[in-house]
Structure 1
Amino acid sequence: MASRDLAALAALFADGTRAAFCLALLDGRAWTAGELARHAGVAPSTASEHLGRLVAGGILAEERQGRHRYVRLADARTAQLVEDLAGHATALARPGDGAGPPRSLRAASTEHAMARARTCYDHLAGRLGVAVTDAMTGRGLLRQDTGFALTEAGVDWFAELGLPLEPRGRRPLARGCLDFTERRPHLAGLAGAALCRHALDSGWCEPIGTARALRLTEAGAHALRERLGVTAEALEV
């Protein structure tokens, strides 16, 4: 029954440790059980039990290399589900502008960096992701009026970057993903993944520490200004 299946799915996320694992895995990498245990501050045996439930429930995929056990989010649809749930949870926990202050200076710095620019599984998110999405829409490269869709000009724009988009499987070329800090959509799908990969490979962005936060480089700021008209002011949070 659909109701029973929904309840079972919800139960997988109804635990702080499992939720922390899923949020960490939004960086798109495969993590070991030990890394996730340290990240969530739990014992390895506790982590193993929770990971077993997430793998059995189809939320995580498991890979083994020698003695090491790696897990990652099962696919892009699962990553979308986690990001959407995080966005809804944030909106419910912080109605209006009544958010409390971060617990420490380090937490404040991390929160600011994540809000400014980060990865969401395999695409750009935060203020950077939304600004790029808005700029693409304003220049006629992307349509949002009837759902997310690249225009012919948008497909040509990606080709000019050396990123020809070829459909693979059931993943759409473009899809809107609700940004949990901006509460507006940013570009996901094959196009979003290709653009994020290009931004990292070309040195437009670089990771900050071990979190999903990104820093826009001088070269990246120049490229986005020249190609999309995105200004530094548009990225302020």
Structure 2
Amino acid sequence: MITPRFDILGQAISDASRTRMLCELMEGRAYTNKELASAAGITPQTATAHLRMLQDAGLVLAEKSGRCVYHRLASPEVAQALEQLAAIAPADSLYRNQQRKAGELATVRSCYDHLAGPLAVALTKAFLTRGMLVEDNGGYRAVTSDLWHRIGVVLPDRVGRQPFVRPCLDWTERQPHVAGPLGRQILNHGMDLGWLQRHAHKRGLLLTAPGRTAYDQILDFRPAEMASG
């Protein structure tokens, strides 16, 4: 019998600087050593050692592009596991300071490949209220609706081995938002149409005026409601 090496993973995430870098990577983008060092409040030299440990544990991958080396989470499964751990872990003062400085980060952000934060939680509630989603054996099941197409979601013709949509406990709101392929389609569609935009110099996403209008028209979803989650 093969025993999972939880001890290796535990050691990798046991340091606060490493967990802060992992939280930065949970946004879904790749970052350089220097960027991750700045996020964790450590020197690039120290960040190099931490990133090597995260790579050895299978949590992070390094990719060279030109003269720069970028680091990203190793897989969607890693992102999902970290998100669930984050939902039950206490937040430190660094995260709270970043949250205050980031402004829109607290309202609109991505968690790896899907939306997270108050906007994502509020959208999920809207899907349930309008019957687009139903709770099913502890998960979600998407129900055919013309509204899905309008927010960029194409429902599968048949049930696959992996769930098309699953509830994911939001690590700041402590309430579920949608993840899986459905969540990924919503995020990608919003980005493609300019409803959501990346901030140039800080974490998180920006919900644009066209995005607020679109969600309001499609889901009867008020901008004030979106802002408050």
Whether these two folds match at TM > 0.5 is yes
Query: Structure 1 residue 60: deviation in Å?
Result: 0.8
Contact preservation (8 Å) 2:140, 2:167 = no
1:190 to 181, 203, 209: 181
Question: What's 2:197 paired with?
Answer: 206
Question: What's 2:87 paired with?
Answer: 87
Query: Aligned ranges for residues 1-237 of structure 1 at < 5 Å?
Result: 5-90=5-90, 108-110=100-102, 112-154=103-145, 157-165=147-155, 171-237=162-228
Residue identity matched to 1:32: T
How far apart are the structure 2 equivalents of 1:121 and 1:171? 17
Contact preservation (8 Å) 2:142, 2:165 = no
Query: Structure 1 residue 186: deviation in Å?
Result: 0.3
Residue identity matched to 2:88: H
How far apart are the structure 1 equivalents of 2:49 and 2:196? 36
Question: Which shows bigger deviation, 19-28 or 215-224?
Answer: 215-224
Note the residue ranges of structure 1 that are not aligned, 5 or more in a row.
Answer: none
Amino-acid identity (%): 37
Question: Deviations 1:19-61 (Å, cap 9, x if unpaired)?
Answer: 1110111121111222212332322221111111111111012
How far apart are the structure 1 equivalents of 2:30 and 2:112? 11
User: For residues 41 and 3 of structure 1, do their structure 2 counterparts lie closer, same or farther at Cα, with a shift above 3 Å needed?
Assistant: same
User: What RMSD over aligned residues (CA atoms) do the two structures have, in Å?
Assistant: 2.8
Partner SS, residue 72 of structure 2: strand
Partner SS, residue 219 of structure 1: helix
Query: Structure 1 residue 201: deviation in Å?
Result: 1.5
Higher normalized helix content (fraction of residues): 1
Query: Structure 1 residue 173: deviation in Å?
Result: 1.2
Residue identity matched to 2:9: L
Residue identity matched to 2:27: D
User: For residues 64 and 4 of structure 1, do their structure 2 counterparts lie closer, same or farther at Cα, with a shift above 3 Å needed?
Assistant: same
Residue identity matched to 2:123: V
Partner SS, residue 26 of structure 2: helix
Query: Structure 1 residue 143: deviation in Å?
Result: 1.8
Partner SS, residue 25 of structure 2: helix
How far apart are the structure 2 equivalents of 1:134 and 1:115? 18
User: For residues 138 and 161 of structure 1, do their structure 2 counterparts lie closer, same or farther at Cα, with a shift above 3 Å needed?
Assistant: same
The count of residues paired between Structure 1 and Structure 2 equals 225
Contact preservation (8 Å) 1:55, 1:61 = yes
Contact preservation (8 Å) 1:131, 1:230 = no
Query: Structure 1 residue 171: deviation in Å?
Result: 4.7
How far apart are the structure 1 equivalents of 2:216 and 2:16? 40
How far apart are the structure 1 equivalents of 2:43 and 2:117? 32
Question: Which shows bigger deviation, 174-183 or 78-87?
Answer: 78-87
How far apart are the structure 2 equivalents of 1:40 and 1:182? 23
Contact preservation (8 Å) 1:59, 1:78 = yes
Query: Structure 1 residue 4: deviation in Å?
Result: 7.0
Residue identity matched to 1:108: R
